[in-house]
Amino acid sequence: METVDQTFEEYPPFLRIHNDGTIERLVGTQTVPPSPLSDAGISSKDVVISPNVSARLYIPHSALSSTKKLPTLVYFHGGGFIIESPFSPHYHPYQDSLAAKAGVIIVSVNYRLAPEHRLPTSYDDSWEAIKWTVGLSDEWLRDHADLDRLFFAGDSAGGNIVHQMAMRTSPSEIRLRGVVLVHPFFWGPNLSDTEKEQIGFVDMVWRLVSPDVGIMQSHWVNWEAERATPLTKLGCQRVMLCVAELDFLNKKGKEYYEALKESGWEGMVELVETEGEDHVFHLFKPDCEKARVFMEQVASFLNQG
């Protein structure tokens, strides 16, 4: 009698791991193509950075026929390190709109995902994409990127990646102007009641991402962990830390903001809180008024100074 493959581990709502080791992602797998010219006036294309890393590039179409140099943003998507990509129906429209609103070049990074590729793979892939960007490895970058106005941004797990990349950045090598951390994934002790309600979910995700180190002890999500590098090493001049009022990660985001202010880091940090909204609301409700206001805030940050 033929044996039917049975799922032996489920991680709702993200994925199943079958008993033959096959990973079945339940969400975050849909893709949309790039556009030579979008309704917002943006050209986008996909590029291969290395055998393991790719990206989708965005540029205002009008810039292609000029010599104007533009601020350059390297963006890291969210999805708990286990789902999503720059090519998804959530991220592609957002990047297209942000490139148009801010007038910037965007390099939206497609890094490898857990559990097939556990941390620090996502960090290493993201760093590879940064080096590729500052190496001006594409004609759009060579002709139009202003690396004196270089920014990193990301949401959720991508916000965590932004922090890690800024900590790796040396101002003597990369002139990082600023970073935008949107609803970043940080964790650690002194949990609020709201955070305690999410312990099961967070632990489930973490077992997929980094099973060898407990989340409370991981310097990747807890900047106060024993191996963590002091926040004074953050390699940029400005930080925009964004939280949403109803997001269970709200408290940890605000704690990061306060810790950075008190660390002795010499840059400028601002806190942006969106009232009445939840985690990455701007991706799921891009046409709402608060998402519009939030995009204007991010665009303004990318064009300051």
Nearest to 151 by CA among 175, 123, 118, 183: 175
Return all residues near 264 (Cβ < 8 A) that are at least 6 apart. Answer: 232
DSSP secondary structure letters along 262-298: HTT--SEEEEEEETT--TTHHHHSTTSHHHHHHHHHH
Judge whether 219 counts as a catalytic residue: no
Least Cα distance to 299 among 255, 261, 242, 254 occurs for 242
Angular region, 198: left φ>0, alpha ψ -120 to 50, beta rest: alpha
Choose among 272, 101, 103, 3: nearest CA to 281: 272
Give the separation between CA 4 and CA 16, rounded to whole angstroms.
15
The question of whether 203 is a catalytic residue gets the answer no
Partners of residue 25 on adjacent β-strands: 15
What does the chain come to in residues? 305
Catalytic site includes residue 61: no
Per the residue annotation, which of 96, 125, 138, 247 is the catalytic one? 247
The secondary structure of residue 227, as a DSSP letter, is: T
Q: Which of 156, 163, 210, 282 is catalytic?
A: 156
Catalytic pick among 90, 163, 279, 282: 279
For residues 260-286, one letter each, b for 16 or more C-beta atoms within 10 angstroms of the residue's C-beta and e for the rest, the string is beeeebeeebebbebeebbbbbbbeee
For 268, the token pair is 């400028």
Q: Which residues are catalytic?
A: 156, 247, 279
